[in-house]
Structure 1
Amino acid sequence: MNGRRRIAIVVGTRPEAVKLAPVVQELNRRSWAEPVLVATGQHGEVVRDTLSCFGLCAQVELTAPPGADSVTELTAGLLSGLGERLRAPAAHAVVVQGDTASALAGAMAGFYSSIPVVHVEAGLRSGDLRNPFPEEANRRMIAEVSDLHLAPTRAARRNLVAEGVAAGRILVTGNTVIDAVVAASRRPPAAGDPLLHRIGNSAPLVLVTAHRRENWGAPIRRIGRAVASLSHQYPEVTFVVAAHMNPLVRTAIEESLHDRPNVHLPGPIPYDAFARLLARSVLAITDSGGIQEEAAAFGIPVLVTRDNTERTEGIDSGLARLVGTQESEIVAAAEKEFVREGALSGTANGPYPRRNPYGDGRAARRCAAACGWLFGHSPRPSDIPGER
């Protein structure tokens, strides 16, 4: 035993890889820490590719359980695999992020093995147990077994306190995705990047994603039709639809968008390329929670194609608007953004705040320091300053 603390970092999906990569980088700088990246296989190869954007790779790779399309089978299989990996060799703590099946399985495996659980991005709540499904239930269950809650905002902290979590076990860190997206956006593109070559640098850019389980089927088709309508109305605007890995989800949104000259359907986009595209966008249309936060790093307005959101800070700041999934509502909301003075010329400042409600880009440093405090290696770090 070398005296270092072995910390299992559980990563199953691309958003987890993005948000935990800066935490792993910070833990690698701590002499007391031995971070071990555990990839659950939930998103397979895309997690490897995303980690590689940050110069990381998983030391432990599990195979996605059979029946992964079923939430029940996926979660049960992940729990079994992770339980074994956390025990041999024994981890001193397990770090999970957010609200995925991998995060829930990692937290439960740690709890069952009497290993302290650290929850990054703790305390997000929509108030509706079935929306988003199953993430809202996952995050509440993770909170019940976590020893240290790393809340991205004070609103998230208030949610946890309201549920009876002891205030002394909560630290407000900011969101690690801000650390990740800003760093990734500053990386130079690969020479001859075909996507950047097709898009060019002159046209105003709108980035579109859709993948939420509760939007599968008709809602995602309506989102696709809304983008098709906007592409007809605004031929000077370039629309990039960043496709989901699930072919059924991808087909549903793309079926209305083929043969539109100003719509690009590139398939899954590497994270660093995605970050560069987002940084130069004038608008994002998405049902993704992570993109609501990432867009805020660049002051980009977001139309949230959901009926509610746990990222209330973006709504409160004016950066994000809930528009649902009705085609007419999405089109009307986008039109309102486009008529904003200068929005399509790239010169708009807009009514948006300069301060990012999701953090200052130092969240990963606070998360690593909090782990040090958990083990008695450093004093308790301070909450993010100036956040309301």
Structure 2
Amino acid sequence: MQHVLLAFGTRPEAIKMLPVVRALRKCGGVRVSVAITGQHRQMLDQVFEVFGEKPDIDLNLMTHNQKLSDITGLIISQMTDLLDKLRPDLVLVHGDTTTAMATAIAAFYSRIPIGHVEAGLRSYDLSHPWPEEFNRVAIDSLADYLFAPTLGAAENLDREYNRRGRIYVTGNTGIDALLHVAQQIDASTAMGANLSETVIELDSERSLILVTGHRRESFGAGFEDICKGLRKLAERDDVQIVYPVHLNPAVRDVVRARLGSISNIHLTDPVSYLDMVKLMKRAKVILTDSGGIQEEGPALGRPVLVMRNTTERPEAIATGTVRLIGTDPDRIYNEVSALLDDEVCYNERAKPVFPYGDGTASIQIANIIAESFAS
């Protein structure tokens, strides 16, 4: 049997890789192992529970306030040891995290083929998002299988001088995960009824603004401006803001200090993936700097305002559902208010659209891998 090792460490990776794990397990002649680094320890465990999966190997490499250089070196070293022991036929990584980049380097050093799920995304600015743009470019230069979510991503790859892998356009596995969980919520009265106790009880008379923010390039002045914009929004008596705050102290300490005393801003610990899908389905508007939510919001028909100046997901922008707004406080307030106050504008941008595929990306990736092993 051919052995595929999937390696990841963060919640977004787990959300987008566990559908691939499930699809590969259904392929004959393929043995599947899952190794995690624990880059998002608590949030990672929640996703495994939703998908009914467990990791086979937990390297548990994270420590408090680790530098990027520390975790990169540690993952390369520990993953190289693991790969030399297991000798899988393919290492599969996802996206643009430090775990994905360092694992790809370890596989390259060990002369093991690499597959990159969600290949070809580009902002063409190594500073935004940082260090994610560097990570994805590095992985794509090493990968043998490049699973691009869109034609645009494939075209990005096709233009690069150092590409060595074969390109496949599959759609995005995050949509597979989203549709799977959304269908479970819709089909189950018990599952869909309420958010868990980790999330504040919501006021049905107020519009819900869902906020996520954690990007490193916004540390410092960027998060100060985001907080100013949210404080101004909270002056409206027709809104409630829910912000699951990232555990990184550079985010958490600023956000809780600036927003913790405002009655209609509800700061929570990170919520489970199940609760996040429920929040997105319930939200009137989503404010985010997350890449995954730029994909998920359009599929749920929710307007998404991206608190960044660049994006590697232009397909979402082209639909009109997603808009780049940066971190300027006045623009945050004005863009959200325009959606809340203009019903025609809102309805034009609140239609479900699927620029990232139809929910079959994982099956396509699994079939490509199985067929390549058989040939």
* TM class by smaller structure: over 0.9
Greater mean alpha carbon deviation, residues 355-364 or residues 52-61 = 355-364
Structure 1 residue 122: deviation in Å?
Answer: 0.1
Structure 1 equivalent of residue 58 of structure 2: 61
Structure 2 equivalent of residue 324 of structure 1: 326
Q: Which runs of 4+ in 1 moved over 6 A?
A: 165-168
Structure 1 residue 338: deviation in Å?
Answer: 1.2
Structure 2 equivalent of residue 383 of structure 1: none
RMSD: 2.0
Alpha-carbon spacing, 1:12–1:113, altered in 2? closer, same or farther (3 Å): same
1:231 aligns with 2:234: yes
Structure 1 equivalent of residue 372 of structure 2: 374
1:263 aligns with 2:260: no
The one-character-per-residue Cα deviations of 1:88-122 (angstroms, maximum 9, x if unpaired) are: 12211000000111001111111111111000000
Q: For 1:316 and 1:342, how far apart are their aligned partners in 2?
A: 19
1:2-81 equivalences under 5 Å are: 4-64=1-61, 69-81=66-78
Which residue of the other structure, out of 209, 215, 218, is the alignment partner of 1:215? Answer: 218
1:125 aligns with 2:135: no
Alpha-carbon spacing, 1:324–1:197, altered in 2? closer, same or farther (3 Å): closer
Structure 2 equivalent of residue 206 of structure 1: 209
Amino acid across the alignment from 1:137: F
Q: Is the 8 A contact 1:161 1:167 kept in 2?
A: no
Secondary structure (helix, strand or coil) at the match of 1:294 reads helix
The one-character-per-residue Cα deviations of 1:7-57 (angstroms, maximum 9, x if unpaired) are: 111111111011101111111111222111101122223212221111111
Q: For 1:201 and 1:34, how far apart are their aligned partners in 2?
A: 48
Q: For 1:77 and 1:67, how far apart are their aligned partners in 2?
A: 14
1:304-315 equivalences under 5 Å are: 304-315=306-317
Q: For 2:199 and 2:6, how far apart are their aligned partners in 1?
A: 33
Greater mean alpha carbon deviation, residues 251-260 or residues 183-192 = 183-192
Q: Is the 8 A contact 1:118 1:148 kept in 2?
A: yes
The one-character-per-residue Cα deviations of 1:310-359 (angstroms, maximum 9, x if unpaired) are: 1111111111111111111111111111122178xxxx632455431111
1:273-352 equivalences under 5 Å are: 273-341=275-343, 349-351=347-349
TM-score by length of 1: 0.90
Amino acid across the alignment from 1:29: K
Secondary structure (helix, strand or coil) at the match of 1:119 reads strand
Q: For 1:376 and 1:164, how far apart are their aligned partners in 2?
A: 30
Identity within the alignment, %: 37
Which residue of the other structure, out of 96, 119, 129, is the alignment partner of 1:99? Answer: 96
Q: Is the 8 A contact 1:67 1:73 kept in 2?
A: no
Structure 1 residue 66: deviation in Å?
Answer: 5.4
The one-character-per-residue Cα deviations of 1:179-232 (angstroms, maximum 9, x if unpaired) are: 112222333158782256611555321110110000011211211121121111
Q: Is the 8 A contact 1:126 1:309 kept in 2?
A: yes
Amino acid across the alignment from 1:311: R
Structure 1 residue 306: deviation in Å?
Answer: 0.7
Q: Is the 8 A contact 2:143 2:164 kept in 1?
A: no
Structure 1 residue 254: deviation in Å?
Answer: 2.9
Alpha-carbon spacing, 1:354–1:249, altered in 2? closer, same or farther (3 Å): closer
Structure 1 equivalent of residue 358 of structure 2: 360
Alpha-carbon spacing, 1:66–1:265, altered in 2? closer, same or farther (3 Å): closer
Structure 1 residue 65: deviation in Å?
Answer: 5.2
What is the count of residue pairs matched by the alignment? 369
Structure 1 residue 260: deviation in Å?
Answer: 2.4
Structure 1 residue 175: deviation in Å?
Answer: 0.8
Amino acid across the alignment from 2:338: K
Q: Is the 8 A contact 2:93 2:116 kept in 1?
A: yes
| Structure having the larger proportion of residues in helix | 2
Greater mean alpha carbon deviation, residues 193-202 or residues 273-282 = 193-202
1:129-278 equivalences under 5 Å are: 129-164=126-161, 169-185=166-182, 186-187=184-185, 188-189=191-192, 193-195=196-198, 198-233=201-236, 235-278=237-280
Amino acid across the alignment from 1:13: T
The one-character-per-residue Cα deviations of 1:293-323 (angstroms, maximum 9, x if unpaired) are: 1111102111111111111111111111111
Secondary structure (helix, strand or coil) at the match of 2:116 reads strand
Alpha-carbon spacing, 1:70–1:117, altered in 2? closer, same or farther (3 Å): same
Alpha-carbon spacing, 1:224–1:192, altered in 2? closer, same or farther (3 Å): closer
Q: For 1:120 and 1:27, how far apart are their aligned partners in 2?
A: 13
Q: For 1:323 and 1:376, how far apart are their aligned partners in 2?
A: 48
Unaligned runs of 5+ in 2: 186-190
Q: For 2:117 and 2:317, how far apart are their aligned partners in 1?
A: 22
Structure 1 residue 252: deviation in Å?
Answer: 1.3
Q: Is the 8 A contact 1:16 1:98 kept in 2?
A: yes
Q: Is the 8 A contact 2:302 2:349 kept in 1?
A: no
Unaligned runs of 5+ in 1: 378-388
